[in-house]
């Protein structure tokens, strides 16, 4: 799957563009077209969260009695990061940048969150009256919120934002309902 150029409407966006003036669908279509990246980030982020948490929970369940929980976090991490990278690269940010340049930058964002998680998890387990599963879910929410901006402007943003015009290439105006 080859990503489209940043700011270039996809086939789906072009088809949705025809529905901007529709009486019932116009408002949600216009909202999607204006906030496509943020909405897709939430959808892909939801998938990544479920996938990453599922991989971790499965490994915790299978290996939790033999391995320390922090080792299991480290084992699950690269699987979750690769899944996240593919979703964000192709679906959300539509990057055409070099994978050799982007993947290390992308991974650095998650290495930082991994380190924060490895430090915070034992502290939060000692302080909060929740199970390890609930605490890990709470940490995951923090990572989702923080990662959007770092991925947008750091992981995938370097070449993309240098090449973009000052105004968005594709931001369809609202159609007045006369």
Q: How far is CA 110 from the centre of its chain?
A: 11
Q: Where are the alpha helices (DSSP H) in 64-98?
A: 69-87
Burial of 166 (0-12, 13-18, 19+ CB in 10 A): exposed
Buried b (16+ CB within 10 A) or exposed e, 33-46: bbebbeebbeebbe
Beta strands (DSSP E) in 29-167 are none
Cα-based torsion angle of the residue sequence 118, 124, 125, 127 in order, rounded to the nearest 10 degrees: 150
In contact, 89 and 160? CB cutoff 8 Å = no
In contact, 156 and 97? CB cutoff 8 Å = yes
Distance CA 7, CA 167 (A): 10
CA within 13 Å, CB half, 62: 10
Return per-residue pLDDT of the chain as tens, 178 residues. Answer: 445 555 566 776 677 777 777 777 777 777 777 788 888 988 998 899 899 999 999 999 999 999 999 899 889 989 999 999 999 999 988 888 889 999 999 999 888 888 888 899 999 999 999 999 999 888 878 877 788 888 888 888 765 544 444 444 444 555 454 4
Map out the domains of the chain as residue ranges. 1-34, 35-163
């Amino acid at each position: 799957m080859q990503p489209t150029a940043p700011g270039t409407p996809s086939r789906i966006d072009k088809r949705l563009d025809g529905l901007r003036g529709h009486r019932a669908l116009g408002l949600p279509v216009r909202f999607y077209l204006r906030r496509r990246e943020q909405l897709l980030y939430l959808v892909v982020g939801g998938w990544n969260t479920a996938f990453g948490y599922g991989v971790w929970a499965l490994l915790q369940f299978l290996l939790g009695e033999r391995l320390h929980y922090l080792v299991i976090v480290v084992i699950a991490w690269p699987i979750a990061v690769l899944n996240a990278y593919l979703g964000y690269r192709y679906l959300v940010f539509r990057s055409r940048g070099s994978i050799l340049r982007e993947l290390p930058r992308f991974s650095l964002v998650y290495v930082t969150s991994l380190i924060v998680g490895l430090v915070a998890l034992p502290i939060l387990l000692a302080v909060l009256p929740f199970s390890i599963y609930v605490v890990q879910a709470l940490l995951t929410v923090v990572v989702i919120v923080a990662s959007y901006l770092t991925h947008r402007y750091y992981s995938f943003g370097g070449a993309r934002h240098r090449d973009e015009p000052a105004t968005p290439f594709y931001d369809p105006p609202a159609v007045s309902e006369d």
